[in-house]
Amino acid sequence: MPTASFQTVADGIYCIETGLYRDGLAACYLIRERDRLAFVDTGTELAVPGLLGVVAELGLTPAHVDYVIPTHVHLDHAGGAGALMAACPNATLVVHPKGAPHMIDPAKLTAGATAVYGEDVFARDFGELLPVPESRVIAAQDGQTFDLDGRLLTFIDTPGHANHHGCVFDAGSRGLFTGDTFGISYRAFDTAAGPWLFAPTTPVAFDPEAWQRSLDHMMALEPTAAFLTHYCRIDEPPALVDRLRRSIRDLADIALQYQGEPGAERKDRIEQDVTAHLLADARAHGCTLDDATMRELLAVDLDLNAQGLEVWLRRRERRAG
Ligand SMILES: [Zn+2]
């Protein structure tokens, strides 16, 4: 059985590499309490055999998995949820109410991703989306708790990056599984100033105001660690949150310069500005990687951020107009 590489990041919390595009880009988490397990995020379907390998490495079986909790239904977080649920006979899928229909019937997610990537690239990078039987899905409400053999996991509604985004709070360790709502922070950009963070403004439901409110909500929990999908653990999130708040504002401001100028090339102009901004921001943070390396590490995000900001502008223009 293949085993994904993984590391212990807190007591009973494992950060697992899901292998999307490159190492260090996308993780998911396994929480263990005695012999019960919960996954937070899953990676793509292609990651699932490696995740089951980790379960075996811990001396347990898929029957020990009680919960699979995708933070939101973007494919790097939830693409493998259906396959993982199929392999774990006792698991319940816990997901945001706005994401639940797409896990039960993934046809729209598949169609959307195929339209963006094309069928071949979609199959190569993401595999296949399997439906989850409705009877095994809980549409989680804000504040709802899930009992992992006495360890309480609380679902927190956190829109902003996506309107179907939730975080999971592990009250015992004060660890917060943040999906994308605490931003992206690749370890390659760490400096003496600490982690570098930026906001993923991915299509199609970026909402900067809702995002700031979600951060209020998350910081009120006084978390001592944030477990990011992109990537791994960062400490003392309240000390870092202003960096992310500023990134959300800066990226929205970049897009607003193009408000009212729709046109085919707008996304490309936004992408140029976002690229210049993020590279300058990383430099100001003390990052010494050369530009080409930074562009390469951020390539997927630069494209998605520009797409998401362009979609956000269009939504604002439709509302105004
Ligand atoms: Zn996402």
Q: Supply the mean pLDDT for the chain.
A: 97
Instruction: Give the distance (Å) from ligand 1 centre to CA of residue 34.
Output: 30
Residue 59 Cα to ligand 1 middle (Å)? 31
Q: Which residues touch 233 (CB under 8 Å, ≥6 apart)? A: 9, 10, 15, 225, 226, 227
Q: What is d(CA 301, CA 184) in angstroms, rounded to the nearest whole number?
A: 9
Q: For residue 225, name the pLDDT band (cuts at 50, 70, 90).
A: very high
Reported as a pLDDT band with limits 50, 70 and 90, residue 75 is: very high
Domain boundaries, the chain: 6-241, 244-320
Q: What is the pLDDT of residues 169-223, one digit of tens each?
A: 999 899 999 999 999 999 999 999 999 999 999 999 999 999 999 999 999 999 9
Per residue in 40-55, pLDDT (tens digit) is 999 999 999 999 999 9
Residue 112's pLDDT is what?
A: 87
286 falls in which pLDDT band (50, 70, 90)?
Answer: very high
The CATH code belonging to domain 6-241 is: 3.60.15.10
Question: Ligand 1 centroid vs 55 CA: distance in angstroms?
Answer: 25
Q: Does residue 157 register a pLDDT over 80? A: yes
Distance, CA 202 to ligand 1 centroid (Å)?
Answer: 7
- Give the neighbor-by-neighbor strand order of the sheet with 137-139: 6-10, 13-17, 27-33, 36-40, 65-69, 92-95, 137-139
- Between the CA of 301 and the centroid of ligand 1 the distance, in Å, is 10
Closest listed residue to residue 48, CA positions, set 74, 68, 24, 66: 68
Residue 161 pLDDT class (50, 70, 90 cuts): very high
Residue 228's pLDDT is what?
98
